[in-house]
Amino acid sequence: MVGVLLLLLLLPFLLYIAAPQIRKMLSSGVCTSTIQLPGKVAVVTGANAGIGKETAKELARRGARVYLACRDVQNGELVAREIQMMTGNQQVLVRKLDLADTKSIRAFAKRFLEEEKHLHILINNAGVMMCPYSKTADGFEMHMGVNHLGHFLLTHLLLEKLEESAPSRVVNVSSLAHLLGRIHFHNLQGEKFYQSGLAYCHSKLANILFTQELARRLKASGSGVTVYSVHPGTVNSELVRHSALMRWIWWIFSFFIKTPQQGAQTSLYCALTEGLEVLSGNHFSDCHVAWVSAQARNETVARRLWDVSCDLLGIPVDWLMMAAGPKRSLKQTTQHTLPK
């Protein structure tokens, strides 16, 4: 008993001593691309904090015109000014986007399409984690509604612009938590049973399934758009704000947890690295292709989730083919590398 108490007392000190080596091991992935982005346009959801903020900052540093798509516009404006000062890039814009409300998503897309002729990079980064049971404005369970359906709809609304701007990329931020996820089609809204931690896992599995099915359909349509899902690592961010337990665990293991800048590296890698087109649809972690669960590789579930998502959102199942249409030029279908 005395030994256990002594170990508990010494644990913080031991963690502090071992932290540099372990953190280095856990944050080995770094985006080494030197590509610059003048004339390119990017949208980053949830860009007013954490990984999204760091992703937007790096895209701005490389010269892109960056839209911070976030729910808290006031905070977003502060972040935009910070990024402008740090990067010298004044083309950092804030637009209202509440992924828990499809009206807000459609309003954001409408305004963006009116303002911009191009979209080269879409980072679906925003998310919620371990919320008490609640529903979005449209009646979707909060995790599935924000993390999956919100980004599904946003991508649908912006896809034509992405195709017109090809080569272009979509990055969906998922998580290692997908390993515990399942798609319960009979309980997609959590009304029959609900556990907040698992609800997050289910939504992260949905991100990967969406990525794979979108990649398959984009390839079949001859699009110059590629798509990737990423696990950013365990990152010190506001994502755990809804769980006192997770905040406590994050604090205990803070020495091992990635900074938001480290957490943004894999998103940046998938958005910027040249020659990655052949890996469209893959899942990445620490800037390398990563293994996913058997559930995440289930094409039948991916197709069904696509159909169900379309039905819930009131959009055509074949919306991707409709967005492609006959307008894509030969140049757009044959280019594959994000140009310098």
Give φ, ψ of 197 to 5 degrees: -65, -45
Structure tokens at 33: 């691309």
- Please give the angle made by the CA atoms of 218, 226 and 198, to the nearest 5 degrees: 90
User: Would you give the end-to-end CA distance of the chain in angstroms?
Assistant: 62
Structure tokens at 86: 């740090």
Given 67, 200, 228, 269, which residue is catalytic? 200
Which residues are CB-contacts of 295 (< 8 A; sequence separation ≥ 6)? 178, 181, 182, 183, 205, 301
228 a catalytic residue:
no
State the DSSP H helix or E strand holding residue 260, giving kind and residue range, or none if neither.
helix 260-263
Strands in the chain per DSSP E: 41-45, 65-70, 92-96, 121-124, 168-173, 225-231, 283-285, 288-289
Give φ, ψ of 172 to 5 degrees: -105, 120
Which residues are CB-contacts of 52 (< 8 A; sequence separation ≥ 6)? 44, 45, 46, 68, 70, 123, 125, 126
Candidates 52, 48, 220; CA nearest to 121 is: 52
Q: Are 135 and 102 in contact (CB under 8 A)?
A: no
- Return the active site residues: 200
